[in-house]
């Protein structure tokens, strides 16, 4: 458990595993913290040295003043790689984490070995939707949007059958710093990588959830269609596929990262 001191904030991260193993970075969704990756730790921990971190304004990372941008969030990842002394890493990002991964892919392809872009989008409009969410959080805090977000993160069946799994994720959402959440909403609102991702030269896995209302499969298919070295996979989940369909998620992503060709 460590903290990276940046000029405008502190980024909390956890680094586990043998230094001899290849590094894998997990990047969390908007409104979640690094603990959302708990279902991946056992499966990936024997094969990778794992770096999990809280995006700025989330979890134990401090919030710099809004607005943020995707390139600002991605710069935190490059700084973390430098901090832990790793030139390259595998990268797995979900939702906002996937947006960060795409930006890294076309700006720092020499730092990323392979990309897993999960439940994400290259553009997620319209901007008015984000304006409404920002206004709600400014007025009433995270409580204003938590119920609706949770309903998009998990299918009704999973919420009813796995309350012990959902509860800590709901808690992290409700406890997210409103300023950090707003800053990240602004970053997503202003992001448009639809044309730029065609420049990504890295082997990529694009993973979508069949029942994901936030970033539906059509958005994942769009990404996979533009990245030359991309494969597309769909799992029977809502937005947090790494939690709802953890076993299948772990199998698909781990095999992709480890395959020789």
Task: Output the six-digit token pair for 172.
Answer: 């992290």
Is 30 in contact with 95 (CB distance < 8 Å)? Answer: yes
Predicted pLDDT of residue 260: 73
**Model pTM?**
0.97
Q: What is the dihedral of CA 40, 42, 47, 53, to 10 degrees?
A: 50
Rounded distance between C-alpha atoms, residue 109 and residue 207, angstroms: 20
Is the Cβ–Cβ distance between 254 and 43 less than 8 Å? yes
Residue whose token pair is 């973390």: 80
260/252 Cα distance (integer angstroms):
14
Per-residue pLDDT at 228? 95
What pLDDT shows up at residue 261? 66
Answer for the pair 207, 252: CB distance below 8 angstroms, yes or no: yes
Contact (Cβ atoms closer than 8 angstroms) between residue 73 and residue 56: yes
Q: How many other CB atoms sit within 10 Å of the CB of residue 179?
A: 16
Q: Can you give the CATH number for the domain in which 230 is found?
A: 3.40.50.1820
**Residue closest to 95 by CA, chosen among 12, 4, 31:** 31
pLDDT in tens, the chain (261 residues): 799 999 999 999 999 999 999 999 999 999 999 999 999 999 999 999 999 999 999 999 999 998 999 999 999 999 999 999 999 999 999 999 999 999 999 999 999 999 999 999 999 999 999 999 999 999 999 999 999 999 999 999 999 999 999 999 999 999 999 999 999 999 999 999 999 999 999 999 999 999 999 999 999 999 999 999 899 999 999 999 999 999 999 999 999 999 976
* H helices present in 48-204, as ranges: 70-83, 96-107, 127-140, 143-153, 156-161, 163-174, 178-190
> How many domains does the chain divide into?
1
Residue 230 phi/psi, 5-degree rounding, is -110, 145
Answer for the pair 89, 56: CB distance below 8 angstroms, yes or no: no
pLDDT at 1: 72
How long a stretch of residues is the chain?
261
CA atoms within 13 A on the CB side of 18: 4
Count of other CB atoms within 10 angstroms of residue 110: 10
In terms of residue numbers, what domain contains 177? 2-258
Backbone angles phi, psi at 258, to 5 degrees: -90, -15
């Amino acid at each position: 458990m460590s903290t990276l001191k940046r000029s405008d904030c502190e980024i909390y991260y956890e680094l586990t595993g043998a230094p001899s193993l290849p590094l894998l970075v997990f990047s969390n969704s908007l409104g979640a913290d690094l603990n959302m990756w708990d279902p991946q730790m056992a499966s990936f921990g024997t094969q990778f040295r794992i770096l999990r971190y809280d995006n700025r304004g989330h979890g134990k990372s401090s919030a710099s003043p809004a607005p943020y941008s995707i390139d600002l969030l991605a710069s935190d990842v490059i700084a973390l790689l430098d901090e832990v002394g790793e030139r390259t890493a595998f990268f797995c990002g979900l939702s906002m984490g996937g947006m960060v991964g795409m930006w890294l892919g076309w700006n720092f392809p020499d730092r990323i070995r392979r990309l897993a872009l999960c439940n994400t989008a290259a553009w997620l409009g319209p901007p008015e939707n984000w304006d409404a969410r920002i206004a709600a959080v400014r007025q009433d805090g995270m409580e204003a949007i938590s119920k609706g977000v949770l309903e998009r993160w998990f299918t009704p069946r999973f919420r009813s059958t796995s309350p012990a799994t959902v509860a800590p994720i709901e808690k992290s959402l409700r406890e997210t710093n409103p300023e950090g959440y707003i800053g990240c909403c602004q970053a997503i609102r202003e992001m448009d990588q639809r044309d730029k991702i065609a420049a990504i030269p890295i082997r990529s896995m694009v993973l979508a959830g069949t029942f994901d209302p936030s970033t539906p499969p059509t958005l994942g298919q769009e990404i996979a269609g533009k990245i030359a070295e991309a494969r597309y996979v769909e799992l029977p989940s809502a937005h947090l596929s790494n939690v709802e369909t953890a076993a299948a998620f772990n199998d698909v992503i781990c095999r992709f990262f480890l395959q020789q060709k």
